[in-house]
Structure 1
Amino acid sequence: MKPLLPALLALAVSTPVLAAKIAMEDQSQIPPAPAKPEGQQWFQPPHERDLPDDAFGRLVQQGRAIFVDTRNQASEYVGNGMNCTNCHLDQGRQANSAPLWGAYTMYPAYRKKNDKVNSYAERIQGCFQFSMNGTAPPADGAVINALTAYSYWMSTGAPVNQSLPGRMYPVIAEPQGGYDLARGKQVYAEQCAICHGDNGQGQKSGDDFVFPPLWGKDSYNWGAGMHRINTAAAFIKTSMPLGKGGSLSDADAWHVAAYMNSHERPQDPRLVDGSVEKTRVRFHANDGVNLYGQKVNGVVLGQGTR
C-alpha cells in the first residue's frame, strides 16, 4: 500500500518547483508491464462513489474534471484540441491504455533520454508540452496538484514500484516488410474517418472536439509519444476503432498508425537551432519508429503546421 503524500492537498510548497523543460515523453526506462495471468482481472481502481466528502475528495473531483475536459478546464496550458482522456481512455481507468493506476506508482523514475530522475509532476508536464502542444503547468500549482491527487486516488491499493499488467500500451510487432502507407490510407478510410474525419481533423460539437484530431494544427505535436508509429500502433490495436478494440490485425494497426503519422503536425518544441535535421538526430533518431525528418511523398516531415 502507498503511504499518503503529506503535501498532496497543498497548492504550494515551501520551496517552489520550477516547470522544467521535459526532453522526452516516453516511459522506456520503466520495466515493461507483464502479461495478465490467465483468469485474473486487471487492477480495479476505486469508484467515484467511494470518494470521501472532504477536501481530498473535492480535489480528486477537480483532477477528474481537468483530465476529461483539459482543453476547457486548463485552457491556458493546452495548445490544441486534445484532452488527457483521448489517449488514457475511460477517464484514465482502461487497462492497456496507459491508465493512471499503472503510472502513478512508478514515479519518481530515471529517464535515460533526459538523464535525470523525473517526478510524476514532470511526467504530467511533458504531456501538456507535447501531446497537448501547450505549456507545462507549474509543478506546484493547482492543475498539477489536482491531476496528481486524481492519479493517487486511482491507484488506491496498487503496489509501489511494481509494473502492473495493463499499465502501458502493449507491444505490437512491426509487420514483416514494414508498414504500408497505401494500405494504411485504406484502413483509415474504412475504419477511422467516420470519427476522425477524412483529413484527420476530428469532429466538433460547437467549439469542443467530440473526436480528437489526428494530424494538423489541432493535434499532438512532433514531440508527443504518439508520433512514434510503434506507440500509435499499440494504442490503435487495443482500443480502436472506439468500442471495437482488438478488431484490427497487428499489421493493419501498424499500417494505419504509419499513415496517421505521415502527416504534418505542430513542430517539436525542442527544435534545435531551427533545424529539423539536427532535431531528428538529437531526439528522434533512436526514439522508436517515426517519420520526423523523413521524406514522405516528396516532403520532409517536421516543418510544423503553419
Structure 2
Amino acid sequence: MKYVLAAFAFACGLTACTQKPAPAPAPATAAPVPKAVAAAPAPTTFSPPAESAIPAGPLGDVIRQGRDIFTDTPTHAKAYVGNGLSCSNCHLDAGRQANSAPLWGAYGVYPQYRKKNGKVNTFGERLQGCFRFSMNGKAPPLDSAEMVALETYAWWMATGAPVGKKLPGAGYPKAGFKPPQPPDYARGETVFRNNCALCHGDDGLGRQVAGRNVFPPLWGPQSFNWGAGMHQLDNAAAFIKANMPFSRGNTLSDQDAWDVAMYMDAHERPQDPRFDGSVGETRRKYHDTPMSLYGTEVQGHLLGSPTGMH
C-alpha cells in the first residue's frame, strides 16, 4: 500500500529600491523611530482546576461520578461498554493531560459540525460516539445519569477556559506532523517490540489483573473498533509521539511513531458498527482516506474482513 505524503515548499524574497536624493532637499522633520513591538507570548497550556477543588454537595457528587466513569468506565458505565477500555486510556490523567485530547480542550468547542456523521454534534453526542466506537458499546441516552455526569465533569474541567476557541494542548498534536518516509509495518513491529510490548504484551492484547486492564489492548476483540478515531494513522501517530511510551512522551522519533502506529492499526479489531455487509462499500462510505487501513490488504489479510480477527 502506498501513502501520498504532502510536501511543502516555502520561498521568501527581499526587494529593495533606492531613490536618488533631490538636489536641494527641503528641510524635513526626521521620521519617527518605530517603537519596538513586543513579541507575542508563546501559547501556554490551559490548567484545569485541581481535583481537590471539586466542590462539596450535590454538584460535586456528580462531578466525582463523572470522574469515576471516565477513569473506570467498565465498572461505572457497564451497560454501555463492549470492551474493557476506559475513557482515560486515551485521554490520560483522568482527561487532564495536554496533547492527549483532554476534556478541557473539547468541552468549549462544541457544538460543531462533524464530517464523520454529517451533522452538527453537541458535546453529549460526541461522547455518545466514544461509547459506540472507542468503547465498542452503545450510546447512553443523552439524559442518562452517566451522560449527565460525564458532561458535568467535562464542564468543571474546563472552568475558566474560553468558549469556541481551540486551546494549545487540545486534541492530539497533528499539525505539520508528517513522517520522513511512508509508514512501514516491519519497522513498526521493531518499534513495538522495543518500546511497547513491555506494557501492552507481545501479542498487543494488553495486561490484565483480576480481569481488569492495567495496560489496554491495542487490537483484538477487547480493543476499540474500526470506527474509532484511534484506528486512523494520523491520530494514532500523534498520540503515540506525544504520550508513549507511557510517561516518556516525545522520546520516539517522528518516523518511529508513524511506523508503530501503522503496525498497531494494521491488526484486526472489532467491526465498524456501520458495516453494511461489504468491506469495500463500508470503506468507500466511511474510510476513504489514506489514514485508514480498513478495507486494505496488509500482510496478506483484508483488514475489516468478517472472517474473524487474527
Look up the equivalent residue of 1:227 and give its one-letter code: H
Secondary structure of 2:170's aligned partner: coil
CA distance in 2: counterparts of 1:113 and 1:223, whole angstroms: 10
Look up the equivalent residue of 1:167 and give its one-letter code: A
How far off is 1:96 after superposition?
Answer: 0.6
Provide, for residues 12-71 of structure 1, a one-character-per-residue CA deviation record: whole Å limited to 9, x for no partner.
xxxxxxxxxxxxxxxxxxxxxxxxx86654101011211221110000000000000001
Provide, for residues 119-142 of structure 1, a one-character-per-residue CA deviation record: whole Å limited to 9, x for no partner.
111000000000000000111111
Look up the equivalent residue of 1:91 and give its one-letter code: A
**C-alpha RMSD of matched pairs (Å):** 1.3
Q: TM-score if structure 2 supplies the norm length?
A: 0.84
Which of the numbers 182, 204, 220 marks the counterpart of 2:224?
Answer: 220
Name the residue aligned to 1:303.
305
CA distance in 1: counterparts of 2:53 and 2:303, whole angstroms: 48
Residues 57-136 of structure 1 aligned to structure 2 (within 5 Å): 57-136=60-139
Structure 1: gaps (5+ residues)? 1-36
Count of aligned residue pairs for this structure pair: 268
Name the residue aligned to 2:295.
293
CA distance in 1: counterparts of 2:88 and 2:231, whole angstroms: 17
CA distance in 1: counterparts of 2:207 and 2:260, whole angstroms: 19
Secondary structure of 1:76's aligned partner: helix
- Of all paired residues, the percent bearing the same amino acid is 55
Which has the higher relative contact order, 1 or 2, with Cα contacts under 8 A spaced 6 or more apart? 1
> CA distance change for structure 1 residues 174 and 40 in 2, over 3 Å: closer, same or farther?
closer
CA distance in 2: counterparts of 1:113 and 1:224, whole angstroms: 10
Provide, for residues 130-168 of structure 1, a one-character-per-residue CA deviation record: whole Å limited to 9, x for no partner.
000000011111111000000000000000001101011
Does residue 1:268 correspond to 2:272, yes or no?
Answer: yes
CA distance in 1: counterparts of 2:63 and 2:274, whole angstroms: 32
Look up the equivalent residue of 2:187 and give its one-letter code: R
CA distance in 2: counterparts of 1:225 and 1:170, whole angstroms: 14
Name the residue aligned to 2:52.
49
Secondary structure of 2:116's aligned partner: coil
Which of the numbers 230, 245, 254 marks the counterpart of 2:249?
Answer: 245
CA distance in 2: counterparts of 1:290 and 1:115, whole angstroms: 18
Name the residue aligned to 1:191.
195
Which of the numbers 251, 259, 266 marks the counterpart of 2:263?
Answer: 259
Secondary structure of 1:222's aligned partner: coil
Secondary structure of 1:210's aligned partner: strand
Structure 2: gaps (5+ residues)? 1-39
The runs of at least 4 consecutive aligned structure 1 residues that moved more than 3 Å come to 37-41
